[in-house]
Chains A and B, each alone.
Chain A
Amino acid sequence: MLASYYQNFKQELDGQGVLLCYSGYVSEKVLFSLGDILRRKMESEDTNQAKRLFSVFVEQVQNIIRYSDDRLVTSGSGADAISSGLVLVGSEEDGYFVVCANVLDAAKVEDLRRRLEGLRGMDKEQLKAHYREKLRSPAEEESQGGSIGLIEIARRSSKPIEFDFMDLKNQTSFFCLKAFI
């Protein structure tokens, strides 16, 4: 029973083309280790595609570390933060994808949705111009560089990013973001 349960579970992921799946608490050290594995896995692939995938992966996982509402360490930021989320990297018929998901304070949903809808509606040239503008503007409060991180994800994605929110209990929301490389 045990083996069949987890074999089904693994097969479900394999069937979706998942190369790497991580659920639970993530820190900068975990990000580094997973990223290292991803780079090795991509060694035989096109270098520019591998770089775009790595870049999207880092920004996505750092968003979990910085903005997930489910945190093991509540004080401090950066090196000390440990936050919970879900990371999936896989391949589909026309390329790779990176999905990240985490729980958010519901009060932050509308602002994030607006920003992501804005990015989703931009073409490559508009994303480039928007990136250049944000690169030069002073950091937004509480953003820890996150606003430019989302632009970086949208810019490296070969198709428009996909995202969704689902209301949970206690004024929280489940947020997921998918990018394509």
Chain B
Amino acid sequence: MIKIEATERSPQVEFDFSSGRFLMAGESFPEDAAAFFGPLLESMQSWLGESHDTDVQFDLQMIYFNSSSAKALMNLFQLLEDSARGGRSVSIHWHYDSDDETMEEFGEDFSEDFEHASFVLRVTEP
């Protein structure tokens, strides 16, 4: 289990490996994106390599993220897509407010090209 509280510039993170439920929410423009996301990517990669039976549901409720965070998120999703190609059930839920054009558009950018993982855009009313 990885649990990181949100800060003014980094998101809340909850990686519950035992249940396969993952959450990232809030703002992401950390001072050092590699330092923030590197350990998360490593943990995800090693868990996906060890545990093959657990279904994954990943919920994202982002308000804002910068381009370095976008790259890191894509790397994370690509790990999940690879695992889904290997047979795991993976669903990624991209939540955004109905009036947030930027997060809607980012959801569309990220969702393209997923063949094995399901990437679902979920609009929430503010």
Chain A interface residue number, banded = 20 to 34
**Chain B residues with Cβ under 8 A from A78's Cβ?**
31-35
- Given A78-B32, A132-B109: A48 and B100 interface contact (C-beta under 8 Å): yes
Q: Tell me, yes or no, whether B67 is within 8 Å of chain A by CB.
A: yes
Query: Once the chains are docked, how many angstroms separate the CA of A79 from the CA of B64?
Result: 19
Q: Is the CB of A55 within 8 A of B66?
A: yes
**Chain B residues with Cβ under 8 A from A146's Cβ?**
67
Mask of A34-56 contacts with B, CB within 8 angstroms, 1/0: 00100000000001100110110
Question: Which of B18-26, B68-76, B84-92 binds A?
Answer: B68-76
Chain B's nearest CB lies how many Å from the CB of A167? 29
Q: Is the CB of A145 within 8 A of B68?
A: yes
Query: Once the chains are docked, how many angstroms separate the CA of A139 from the CA of B101?
Result: 26
Q: Tell me, yes or no, whether B29 is within 8 Å of chain A by CB.
A: yes
| CB proximity to B under 8 Å, residues A43-84 | 47-48, 51-52, 54-55, 58-59, 62, 77-79
Main secondary structure of the interface of B (DSSP, over half): helix
Interface size on B, residues (CB 8 A): 25
Q: Tell me, yes or no, whether B50 is within 8 Å of chain A by CB.
A: no
Query: Once the chains are docked, how many angstroms separate the CA of A28 from the CA of B35?
Result: 14
Q: Is the CB of A51 within 8 A of B64?
A: yes
Query: Once the chains are docked, how many angstroms separate the CA of A139 from the CA of B78?
Result: 14
Chain A's nearest CB lies how many Å from the CB of B109? 5
**Chain B residues with Cβ under 8 A from A169's Cβ?**
none
Query: Once the chains are docked, how many angstroms separate the CA of A149 from the CA of B99?
Result: 24
| CB proximity to B under 8 Å, residues A147-166 | 148-149, 151-152
| CB proximity to A under 8 Å, residues B112-126 | 112-113
| CB proximity to A under 8 Å, residues B9-68 | 9, 29, 31-35, 64, 66-68
Query: Once the chains are docked, how many angstroms separate the CA of A131 from the CA of B74?
Result: 12
Chain A's nearest CB lies how many Å from the CB of B35? 7
Chain A's nearest CB lies how many Å from the CB of B86? 19
Chain B's nearest CB lies how many Å from the CB of A152? 5
Q: Is the CB of A145 within 8 A of B9?
A: no
Q: Tell me, yes or no, whether B8 is within 8 Å of chain A by CB.
A: yes
**Chain B residues with Cβ under 8 A from A132's Cβ?**
109, 112
Query: Once the chains are docked, how many angstroms separate the CA of A131 from the CA of B112?
Result: 12
Q: Is the CB of B109 within 8 A of A145?
A: no
- Given A62-B66, A79-B35: A55 and B102 interface contact (C-beta under 8 Å): yes
Apart from A51-B100, A78-B34, list 17 A-B contacts with CB within 8 A. Answer: A28-B32, A51-B64, A51-B102, A52-B102, A54-B64, A59-B67, A131-B109, A132-B112, A135-B70, A136-B113, A145-B33, A148-B70, A148-B71, A149-B66, A149-B67, A149-B68, A152-B66
Interface residues of B (CB under 8 A from A): 8-9, 29, 31-35, 64, 66-68, 70-71, 74, 78, 99-102, 105, 109-110, 112-113
